[in-house]
Amino acid sequence: MDKNTLKDGLYAVMHTSKGDIVLALEYKKTPMTVANFVGLAEGSLNKDKPFYDGLKFHRVIANFMIQGGCPYGTGTGGPGYKFGDEFDPSLKHDRAGILSMANSGPGTNGSQFFITHVETPWLDNKHSIFGNVVEGQKVVDSIVQGDTIKKVEILRVGRDAEAFKVTKQSFAAYIVEAEKKQKKAAGEARKNVEAELKNRYPEAISTKTGLRYVVKKKGDGERFPKTGARVKVHYQGSLLDGRIFDSSIQRGEPTEVRIGEVIEGWNEALVTMSVGEERTLIIPPELSYGEMGYPGIIPPNSYLIFEVHLLSF
């Protein structure tokens, strides 16, 4: 690859057993994630030894993506540390050739990455994008499981890219800065959600923990089951956008649960209900599935809306 043919920017040339893949790295939009990749590729984050050289593409799914970066070739390995997610609103999994971090959940990035064959929009805001293919997509499409990364070469074109040097100290600084940005964004998002909930449920009662509820129908049966009691309920759970993720009502069969063994929002609400009562529960993430969410069903940091009808206990 001739640097003179490239626009100013930071690039990675991935020399593989099938040919070269040239990747433009988003060092201005996702600097922490790029610094990790560059530092591993050049060895500054890996005992001065290039991390990716000789590793295999251990996972390839046709018409989806190729994945590499595991030192064991099994998908279970990493560099010996993990770091947080880094998202930029302008970066989407909207085409072939997107370079993104593989992970096992929020905040579990390491050395593994993938490159897409097609657009994969369901991965947005779940996997950190840090580059894209500018040359060699046919090579990406030809790679099969077991093909090898011979070497990852980092190219710096222009003054800004030349100044992007990665040390353990600079990587640590990027992590601190990314965490600050993430906390600020999360705080702003939470304020927006809270405002939306107040408008949507103006009659809701709030508790000290942050749980909100609306009594839709008062119960006339036995009151206040205790922690440890088994209760029979009908319920429906949805996200703020209305998507239903679970419903005993749709299944046509009530569910039995033990108070103390369900999410905290339910535990708190059930002990204050009466048989026959129907409530809408507005549960914040810290009283439900928190930062992890429920993979494939509930996104991280989700508020949940439950319609709950206490039938018996």
Q: Is 127 a catalytic residue?
A: yes
* Marked catalytic residue, from 64, 192, 200, 251: 64
Q: Name residues whose C-beta falls within 8 Å of residue 275's C-beta, 6 or more positions apart in sequence.
A: 219, 220, 221, 222, 223, 310, 311, 312, 313
* Marked catalytic residue, from 37, 51, 59, 132: 59
Give the Cα-Cα-Cα angle 149, 164, 18 (nearest 5 degrees).
15
Q: Is 59 a catalytic residue?
A: yes
Q: Is 64 a catalytic residue?
A: yes
* Marked catalytic residue, from 6, 23, 37, 103: 103
Question: Rounded distance, CA 282 to CA 168, Å?
Answer: 43
Q: Is 171 a catalytic residue?
A: no
* Marked catalytic residue, from 114, 130, 306, 313: 114
* Marked catalytic residue, from 45, 55, 67, 313: 67
Phi, psi of 291 (to 5 degrees): -70, -25
* Marked catalytic residue, from 15, 46, 123, 258: 123
Q: Is 113 a catalytic residue?
A: no
Q: In a 3-state reduction of DSSP, which class is residue 167?
A: coil
Adjacent-strand bridge partners of 152: 14
Question: Rounded distance, CA 176 to CA 216, Å?
Answer: 46
Phi-psi region of 258 (alpha: psi -120 to 50; beta: other; left: phi over 0): beta
* Marked catalytic residue, from 58, 117, 127, 234: 127
In order of 69, 77, 246, the CA distances from 232 in angstroms are 48, 44, 16
The set of catalytic residues is 59, 64, 67, 103, 114, 123, 127
